[in-house]
Structure 1
Amino acid sequence: MPPLTRYWIKAGFVNFSAALLLAVLIQLSSVIILPEFIFAMNPVYFHLFLVGWITQIIMGVSFWMFPPVNKDHPRGLEILGWISFVCINVGLICRVVGEPLVFLDPVSEWRWILIASAILQWIGGMLYVIHIWQRVKGKQIPATNVIRVL
């Protein structure tokens, strides 16, 4: 398993654990008194679960399992995958930090952090698509087999 795949999958597990913890805290906030910012964490929960867990697991496994580009560089230009990984995870961290700050002070300067989060996650997603696109291909049929069929 390539290192980038391991990082994506481990980051997915961390985000999954954080999303489950947030789900528990969000539900507990209706029963016990918790800090006010917990009410703002519902969008964070969904981002950690969908982008942090599901999307990163898919990215990691597809990076590992999709057909090779060529023999010299089977996974293509891996730096795009690494930059994608960093952008998505820094974007998620910005979301986790920014959402409660904006909830507590809606007119603050903290709103920029949510914009940065969205931009980073979008860039990460697009870089991943650019990186993996060349590996989405059908089965190659040797020309000799085509001639035999005819």
Structure 2
Amino acid sequence: MPPLTRWFLRTALAWLVLAMLAGVAITLPTFGPGALHAALQPVWVHLLMVGWVTQMIFGVAWWMFPRPAPARSFGNPVLGWSAYAALNAGLLLRALSEPALATAPGPGVRAALVASAALQFLATLAFAATIWPRTRGT
């Protein structure tokens, strides 16, 4: 298993644990209806769908998609690691800025939320660019 795959998969598992903790926290009366409760729901969904599911897919695809002959390369490692870094930085920024927007809105927090989306989008582009050549037929 290539190192990038191990990082994607282990990080996906860490996000899964955090997502489950966030899911439990949302059900506690402490977070009962209000702005913070409303802000934690999209964080929970992002932790699950981006942190766990998307990252797991990226990691398994990097490992298992066919590697073109003759080099049998996994792809561009710079793009692969860039996708990993941008995806996780964007998700972390999202997880921090979404509740902050609900509790202390301001232009800086809004900019952080936009930056988080941009990082996740760039991660997707980087991953697509490196995995695309491995989807060609023979």
Length-normalised TM-score, structure 1: 0.84
Flag the 1:76–1:108 CA change in 2: closer, same or farther, 3 A: closer
SS of match in other structure, 1:135: helix
SS of match in other structure, 2:135: coil
1:134 maps to 133
Does 1:22 pair with 2:19?
no
Give 5+ residue unaligned stretches, structure 2. none
How far has the Cα of 1:37 moved from its partner? 3.1
Q: How far apart, in 2, do the equivalents of 1:79 and 1:33 lie?
A: 43
Does 1:100 pair with 2:135?
no
Does 1:45 pair with 2:56?
no
Q: How far apart, in 1, do the equivalents of 2:82 and 2:14 lie?
A: 19
How far has the Cα of 1:39 moved from its partner? 3.9
Q: How far apart, in 2, do the equivalents of 1:53 and 1:24 lie?
A: 16
How far has the Cα of 1:115 moved from its partner? 0.3
Identity, in percent, stands at 37
Structure with greater helix percent = 2
Does 1:33 pair with 2:30?
yes
What's the RMSD between the two structures over aligned residues?
Answer: 1.6
Does 1:117 pair with 2:77?
no
How many residue pairs align between the two structures?
136
Give 5+ residue unaligned stretches, structure 1. 141-150
How far has the Cα of 1:43 moved from its partner? 0.6
2:78 maps to 79
Q: Deviations over 1:128-148 (max 9, x none)?
A: 00100000123x3xxxxxxxx
Regions of 4+ moved over 6 Å: none
In our comparison, the structure showing a higher alpha carbon Rg is 1
The 8 Å contact of residues 44 and 99 in structure 1, kept in 2 or not, is answered as yes
